[in-house]
Structure 1
Amino acid sequence: MTDYGHDLTFGSFLTPTAAAPEQTVALAQESERAGLDLVTFQDHPYQPGFLDTWTLLSYVAARTERVHLSANVLNLPLRQPAVLARSAASLDLLSGGRVELGLGAGAFWDAIEAMGAQRLTPGQAVDALSEAIDVIRGIWDADERAPLRAGGEHHHVRGAKRGPAPAHPIDIWLGAYKPRMLRLTGAKADGWLPSLGYMKSLSALTDGNTIIDEAAAAAGREPSAIRRLLNIGGQFGAAGSGMLSGPPEEWVDQLAVMTLEHGMSTYILSSDDPRDLAVFGQEVAPALRELVAAERATARDGGPDRPSVRLTAPGRGGAMRRPSPAHPDDELSAAVDYGAIPSRLQGKAFTPRDAGYDDVRSSYMRVGHPALVIMAEDADDVSAAVLFAREQDVPLSVRSGGHGIGGLSTNDGGIVIDVSRLDDYEVLDPAARRFRVGPGATWGHVAERLAERGWAMTSGNFGDTGVGGLATAGGLGYLARKHGMTVDHVTAAELVLADGSQVRADATTDPDLLWAVRGAGSHVGIVTALELEALPLPHGNVVFAQLVFDATDTAAVIERWADLLAASPRDLTSFLNVSAGRGAQPPVAHALLVWAGDDVDAAAAALEPLLDIGPVLQQQAQLVPYAALIAPHDGRHVGQQRIKMRNGYLRRMTAEDAAAIAALLDHSVIGQLELRSVGAAVNDVAREATAFAHRDAEVLVAAWGMPDREDDLRIAWATVEPRLHGVYAAYTSDARPEVAASAYPGAALDRILEIKRRVDPQGVFHGLVALPDGDAVTA
């Protein structure tokens, strides 16, 4: 066990969402107010839903005074090293020495290649990173008068002028996990920056340190010169609820182990919740500094060891084994008969006392505290889980990808049936482009598999969205106007019903149930497999454009965008994100546009009129693989995005509608407006063909509300709601029974209720919105 003796520092790891840029900046400022030392942002330049990280770092530097700033980590293949060196030095000078440089060798190579970089093998990527470090350090060495010649095959400079020198010695930290990257860290870097969520156990930290130390010694460096940083996630809650999931004093004990026994000294909390940041900076950080200082003093004086929390080898599911709570029954529910868990689910069921629970209890939108999470691995597991769950008097949630806006795929005190391990993919009929996929697969991975055959599927706009949740609710993404909703391409489904039976629904076998699955599937059963007909996309490419407008005249920008999209060829689909101005900054409208094919000339002709929406601040368009737009992320869900959503449809945008929508930005609870173009292929499908029945609108209007201000959001939304009709159930956090008639308009709701009476009369399953008579619909 090793303690390298570094001073402890603490930081935040924030999501650079483009949808709510001012919220991201506010969280950086909150990090500084909380006393944190460092603010970091992930860097995915190919992800249109994120702000450009370097631009964000520069802006945040101007809006803060003390905190250091870094990417976590920069995607080097898309950041030219010599320019990056000068950018970092310049920002360091402008910020008074507050910049550090986290670097990564690159991941998600399809998306990287789509942005114009050359694809590298893993070994080449490490070599390129090594060369880049030499270039960067050479540029910073302004005292050396000789022109810089550095690098190698992938990155090099040949006689470049050096400088400017940064205001302070900028640290270079590497995100490293595998031996070759770890050896590079030891040989050339100032810090090691892994994420705890990617570690199978704490012993992985020890193993990584050993490799780094050996490489440092071989390079003639002192191993203790390399700082050990760690991205962590967790929640503050009840005592004994798990690893980094409890009160601040338990965090202090557990982080002390990582410092004194595993050498870590900088802890960076992944959270977009200002309350978590405040507790971390104001309670955990000072107490941990005090405890570690006392332990180090005791060690120097040769005093007795202080008893500490011990974390040992990996437990079930590859997660870290945690100590049992001080009161073992505190986190177990008296309403759940744990002794009756079926034998086939042993080893797949996680209670709050089990290792791995923290990895499965939450969703993307909500921090969950379920009494039991069942990680089903096949349809028989799902049947057993349903039969067990219906005998327990607790809430039941079903989760595939865990990305649902309503946060309904987890709960407090109930049971979660998680089908994320049902993620098989199989081509059934190549000629018909028909494939079968499990509900736990995510759309980013499905897009990659489909692209291998020149196919695609219209889906959502985030790669980590689960197949099961989206394909049973709607699916309104980048190809919607050309190819319609995801539900329009579902041809069959396999389900477990409320009585545990396994059934198939297709055009000839229970077509009514298939109808319900395509838009209201969460009400009628748990899907264990879906069959879909893929779309032809022969070269795999689409034209992707981003246009940024000054939206000072917000209503006019919104109206013109809607009018132009309604008149555009159906190959073009667009989202428009509008955020309010702050201080001297005007409101900004960010249009994302996708032309569903690789005809660049046709795309340019369709895009050109859109330049008249408003004053253009930025424009770019490029041919990219569709799969790169929804690249998979595979991130751990810890309730990191807690916004609240409202939405409704417009048959056609009027000037009065646009003015009312724009006025929403006057309400402080609204983080941003989001408009999605629909119509075209979405409306080609008959209203009664699927349970998703919104087939006559041109625009979906949505508002992103701040967390924990539900009353304010309801008041704000009421000002525009009368102008709208219908609700997209998968894109609202309002699950009240009053919403059901809008989510399933006309005869759709009556038909859903009729089918539910047949397959789930007791209301075992709860849909995206509550049914008007409750979930039990017995006659």
Structure 2
Amino acid sequence: MPDYGHEILFGTFLTPSAQDPDHVVALAELTEAAGLDLTTFQDHPYNADYLDTWTLLSWVAARTERLRISGNVLSLPLRPPAVLARAAASLDRLSHGRFELGLGAGAFWDGVEGMGARRLTAGQGVEALREAIDVLRGVWDDAAPGPLRHDGKYYPIPGMQRGPAPAHDIDIWLGAYQPKMLALTGQKANGWLPTLEYLRSPDRVTANRLIDEAAVAAGRDPRQIRRLLNLFTVDVSSRSRGFLQGPPEQWVEQLLPLVVEEGFSTFLIGRDDPRLIQTFGQEIAPALREAVARERAANVPDASRPGALAARSARGPGLDRETLPASLAARAVQPGDREYEGVRHTYSWKGAPALVIRPETAAEVAEAVSYARTQDVPLSVRSGGHGISGRSTNDGGIIIDMSRMNSVEVLDRASRRIRLEPGARWGQVAQALAPYGLAMSSGDYGDVGVGGLATTAGVGYLVRKHGLTIDHVVAAEIVTADGRLLRVDDEHHPDLFWAIRGAGGNFGVVTALELEAYEVDRVVFAQLVVDATDAAQLLRRWGQLVEDAPRELTSFLSLFPGRRGNPPMAQVTLVYAGDDVEAAQSALSPFLEIGPILDQQAQLAPYPAIVAPPGNQHRGQGLRDTRSGLAHHITPEAADLMANMINSGDVMIMQFRSVGAAVNDVARDATAYPHRDQNFSVLAATVEDRRRQLDKLWAELYPHLDGLYLSFESDTDPARLLDAWPEPTLSRLRAIKATYDPDNVFNRNFPIPPAG
């Protein structure tokens, strides 16, 4: 088996003896002092001679500073996953991201059954564990819409609140030996955690192969799965007495093949011996790390590059890693790297890129673009990675990830001029501008990145008062397809400056934006939950109230289908751009008549509080199939069709955002966003297996729409180009494309064909 390229980790597997609890805690503290990475404890709640493992994990986390902790492995039958998920996330937050979840399907069934849990067969245990993993990740995904519901045989969840999310993306390691468990490891887990002495049939090599085959069949890269190994029959002595029973140099010699030939990358010693723990951490671990680094470097075609990037195959299909500039190699992540899981997906879409480059300067962006042009693979550019449209990740290609270019500066308070880099999140922008009394209308979700929104349009909570984000851009810096870094504004490359405000993803990689912010301190923020049984009437009333409202008021409405006998529900968000409470109350009060109000709240709040960045993990957890349109009005005919969509059960959510007012004060040809007559943005989203039904329902609504909002549309059918950019805008964009990107390098974001 290959070396999967993971960072090499070392730790202990300690006995949680209740007879001498101070001793086991001292051994955990020694594990950290010896320089080891993690400590783990077996979990047998039915054994009265052992401390409760969860309590011990919490105590050790509080007594240490950097040590990772885990059960080895936790007994799932006695730790229901819904509660375990909350406990795990809580401990991970309290320990600042140091908890990992070792999990087992169950053993010692007499003891388990004696404590009141159900006895399961081996096959039932595997299926129960499969369900549990889904429940765990569903609870941790606190940004997913609605409560968590799981129609499971072993762990049914009728409806529970999600969250809290853990401090980091907790790994789930499975203790697995038999083929079904090994297959589950490949399909769903982050790690395999067996004990060396128990690996008989299948043996280590066969077991690893079964995991890899299951991973590939599930569409995963086997390198996503860390291979850990418990070691019990071990000792350090002056002369060899058997496998891992001898001097430190013998340990290194015998462990090295397990890393470079079989792919194991984490070793846990299962002896409560202080001398052994010290030797393992201070002598064996550093020596083995050096040996592994030498082996990996020996396979690197260009020894100047980091081992994690080049130690594996230098050439994949269509991608030549040997020509990656050395200055970018240290910024690059590829499958098998520890950081890969954190950069491969966006919030909404799953991806499997071959290479993710994270530049830190505009010069490095230019190098990345030049390198990508030489490769025969897709190229995506990512700012924040919310990515509803799906264009900021890909399969098998290159991603230029701008997340490290994330500065926010106030250049001149008097003129309200600010400078933003594309990797900043809008929630962070709001926080940085607040001390100056400034703000920028910036979507409705603090995790959204600056680059995508500020080059597409920018519909936010202040949009009817202050207009689109692009309407406040006064200059930009952009790397074009030929590797040039250009500053564009009304006087420098004015054609390109016009184009990037509404179609920016087609013309290069924006590395900085200058905008004129506006004076905003506090706003009035209100939310209503409304019974949407009569969804058509609700939408008509809401639409008319929005059009009649003062422009200080912006409103968004989310519509959810009925579930489990409950009627459809609507969540209405109302933001009054100012702190005049009396005027706000006058503007908000009519909305209390739009339908049966189930819940309501209103408050005077600083603008950053309503777009706070949640810091969610990006695992492709969103709804992939979305359709976007713009509407002049919510007419009775359109409202009936929209109600039919949400009542069909085939649409998971519909969202309506008010525009109009200040948006429509701007001339149609002032920017590449020409939609200056409409009053509403409409989005519908569903799961992949209901895409056809969504398309059918959307086709019925389509004649009532005029245009689309680019960032919310996942269908890139060329026929929809004229929806995004009706003439003469499209012809003007094609001519500019021919000047700055004639080879169509930037062809992922609703690709505009160059003229001619």
Query: CA separation in 1, counterparts of 2:706 and 2:173?
Result: 40
- 2:485 corresponds to: 502
**Matching of residue 628 in structure 1 with residue 617 in structure 2:** no
**Matching of residue 401 in structure 1 with residue 384 in structure 2:** yes
Query: CA separation in 1, counterparts of 2:365 and 2:498?
Result: 22
**Matching of residue 679 in structure 1 with residue 616 in structure 2:** no
- 2:409 corresponds to: 426
What is the CA-CA distance between 1:65 and the residue it aligns to?
6.3
What is the CA-CA distance between 1:404 and the residue it aligns to?
1.8
Query: CA separation in 2, counterparts of 1:496 and 1:470?
Result: 18
What is the CA-CA distance between 1:68 and the residue it aligns to?
11
Q: 1:40 and 1:68, CA in 2 relative to 1: closer, same or farther beyond 3 A?
A: farther
Q: For the Cα contact (< 8 Å) 1:196–1:232, is it kept in 2? A: no
Q: 1:547 and 1:390, CA in 2 relative to 1: closer, same or farther beyond 3 A?
A: same
Q: 1:39 and 1:64, CA in 2 relative to 1: closer, same or farther beyond 3 A?
A: farther
TM-score (ref. length: structure 2): 0.67
**Matching of residue 688 in structure 1 with residue 665 in structure 2:** no
What is the CA-CA distance between 1:64 and the residue it aligns to?
9.4
| Letter aligned with residue 433 of structure 2 | L
**Matching of residue 663 in structure 1 with residue 662 in structure 2:** no
Larger Rg: 2
**Matching of residue 488 in structure 1 with residue 471 in structure 2:** yes
1:325-379 residue CA offsets vs partner (Å, 9 max, x unmatched):
9x98679523222111112212112232444222222211222211211111101
Return structure 1 stretches of 4+ with deviation > 4 angstroms: 10-14, 31-34, 37-45, 59-74, 230-234, 250-253, 257-260, 294-299, 302-308, 320-325, 327-332
Equivalent residue in structure 2 for 1:8, among 60, 75, 78? 75
Q: 1:545 and 1:524, CA in 2 relative to 1: closer, same or farther beyond 3 A?
A: same
- 2:398 corresponds to: 415
Query: CA separation in 1, counterparts of 2:559 and 2:153?
Result: 21
Query: CA separation in 1, counterparts of 2:443 and 2:453?
Result: 7
| Letter aligned with residue 501 of structure 1 | R
| Letter aligned with residue 4 of structure 1 | F
| Letter aligned with residue 41 of structure 2 | Y
- 2:330 corresponds to: 347
What is the CA-CA distance between 1:424 and the residue it aligns to?
1.7
What is the CA-CA distance between 1:67 and the residue it aligns to?
6.0
**Matching of residue 745 in structure 1 with residue 682 in structure 2:** no
| Letter aligned with residue 456 of structure 2 | A
| Letter aligned with residue 658 of structure 1 | A
Equivalent residue in structure 2 for 1:553, among 526, 534, 537? 534
SS in 1 for 2:41: coil
Q: For the Cα contact (< 8 Å) 1:39–1:68, is it kept in 2? A: no
- 1:730 corresponds to: 711
| Letter aligned with residue 581 of structure 1 | G
Q: For the Cα contact (< 8 Å) 1:254–1:309, is it kept in 2? A: no
1:718-754 residue CA offsets vs partner (Å, 9 max, x unmatched):
1111111101111111112111110112211111111
Name the % identity.
42
What is the CA-CA distance between 1:508 and the residue it aligns to?
1.1
Query: CA separation in 2, counterparts of 1:378 and 1:558?
Result: 46
- 1:473 corresponds to: 456
Q: For the Cα contact (< 8 Å) 2:130–2:184, is it kept in 1? A: no
What is the CA-CA distance between 1:69 and the residue it aligns to?
9.3
- 2:561 corresponds to: 580
**Matching of residue 597 in structure 1 with residue 560 in structure 2:** no
Equivalent residue in structure 1 for 2:695, among 714, 719, 726? 714
| Letter aligned with residue 388 of structure 1 | Y
Mapping of 1:175-574 within 5 angstroms?
195-197=167-169, 230=170, 248-249=185-186, 254-256=191-193, 309-311=264-266, 333-537=316-520, 540-574=521-555
What is the CA-CA distance between 1:533 and the residue it aligns to?
0.5
Deviates more, 1:688-697 or 1:634-643: 634-643
Q: For the Cα contact (< 8 Å) 1:440–1:468, is it kept in 2? A: yes
SS in 2 for 1:463: coil
| Letter aligned with residue 341 of structure 1 | L
Q: 1:617 and 1:466, CA in 2 relative to 1: closer, same or farther beyond 3 A?
A: same
Query: CA separation in 2, counterparts of 1:594 and 1:633?
Result: 19
Query: CA separation in 1, counterparts of 2:231 and 2:242?
Result: 10
Q: 1:622 and 1:44, CA in 2 relative to 1: closer, same or farther beyond 3 A?
A: farther
Q: For the Cα contact (< 8 Å) 1:361–1:367, is it kept in 2? A: yes
What is the CA-CA distance between 1:551 and the residue it aligns to?
1.3
Query: CA separation in 1, counterparts of 2:387 and 2:585?
Result: 34
SS in 2 for 1:363: coil
Q: For the Cα contact (< 8 Å) 2:403–2:423, is it kept in 1? A: yes
Query: CA separation in 1, counterparts of 2:81 and 2:592?
Result: 41
1:25-57 residue CA offsets vs partner (Å, 9 max, x unmatched):
xxxxxx989531855766999x9x965xxxx48
Query: CA separation in 1, counterparts of 2:326 and 2:750?
Result: 33
Query: CA separation in 1, counterparts of 2:173 and 2:711?
Result: 27
Q: For the Cα contact (< 8 Å) 1:762–1:778, is it kept in 2? A: no
Q: 1:632 and 1:600, CA in 2 relative to 1: closer, same or farther beyond 3 A?
A: same
Q: Which runs of 5+ in 2 are unaligned?
A: 1-11, 14-39, 44-73, 87-126, 175-181, 198-213, 220-224, 235-240, 245-254, 268-284, 287-291, 297-306
Query: CA separation in 2, counterparts of 1:397 and 1:279?
Result: 24
1:671-723 residue CA offsets vs partner (Å, 9 max, x unmatched):
02111111101111111111111110111121112134432321221111111
Query: CA separation in 2, counterparts of 1:587 and 1:43?
Result: 25
Q: For the Cα contact (< 8 Å) 2:530–2:570, is it kept in 1? A: yes
**Matching of residue 637 in structure 1 with residue 618 in structure 2:** yes
User: How well do the aligned residues superpose, as a CA RMSD in angstroms?
Assistant: 4.2
1:185-219 residue CA offsets vs partner (Å, 9 max, x unmatched):
xxxxxxxxx6553xxxxxxxxxxxxxxxxxxxxxx
SS in 2 for 1:384: helix
Q: For the Cα contact (< 8 Å) 1:32–1:67, is it kept in 2? A: no
| Letter aligned with residue 8 of structure 1 | S
Query: CA separation in 2, counterparts of 1:730 and 1:761?
Result: 23
What is the CA-CA distance between 1:447 and the residue it aligns to?
0.5
Query: CA separation in 2, counterparts of 1:667 and 1:589?
Result: 16
| Letter aligned with residue 132 of structure 2 | L
Q: For the Cα contact (< 8 Å) 1:248–1:279, is it kept in 2? A: no
Q: 1:349 and 1:652, CA in 2 relative to 1: closer, same or farther beyond 3 A?
A: same
SS in 1 for 2:391: coil
SS in 1 for 2:316: coil
Query: CA separation in 2, counterparts of 1:601 and 1:259?
Result: 71
Deviates more, 1:498-507 or 1:417-426: 417-426
- 2:251 corresponds to: none
Deviates more, 1:631-640 or 1:546-555: 631-640
SS in 2 for 1:397: strand
What is the CA-CA distance between 1:70 and the residue it aligns to?
7.9
SS in 2 for 1:472: helix
Q: 1:549 and 1:73, CA in 2 relative to 1: closer, same or farther beyond 3 A?
A: closer
Query: CA separation in 1, counterparts of 2:145 and 2:632?
Result: 30
SS in 2 for 1:624: strand
Q: For the Cα contact (< 8 Å) 1:332–1:351, is it kept in 2? A: no
What is the CA-CA distance between 1:669 and the residue it aligns to?
2.5
**Matching of residue 35 in structure 1 with residue 131 in structure 2:** yes
Query: CA separation in 2, counterparts of 1:259 and 1:488?
Result: 63
1:516-551 residue CA offsets vs partner (Å, 9 max, x unmatched):
1111000111101100001101xx211111111111
Q: For the Cα contact (< 8 Å) 1:332–1:371, is it kept in 2? A: no
Q: For the Cα contact (< 8 Å) 1:550–1:588, is it kept in 2? A: yes
Q: For the Cα contact (< 8 Å) 1:253–1:309, is it kept in 2? A: no
Q: Which runs of 5+ in 1 are unaligned?
A: 15-30, 75-174, 176-193, 198-229, 235-244, 261-274, 281-286, 315-319
What is the CA-CA distance between 1:258 and the residue it aligns to?
11
Query: CA separation in 2, counterparts of 1:443 and 1:431?
Result: 22
Query: CA separation in 2, counterparts of 1:577 and 1:33?
Result: 35
Q: For the Cα contact (< 8 Å) 1:440–1:467, is it kept in 2? A: yes
How many residues align structurally?
562
Query: CA separation in 2, counterparts of 1:352 and 1:418?
Result: 15
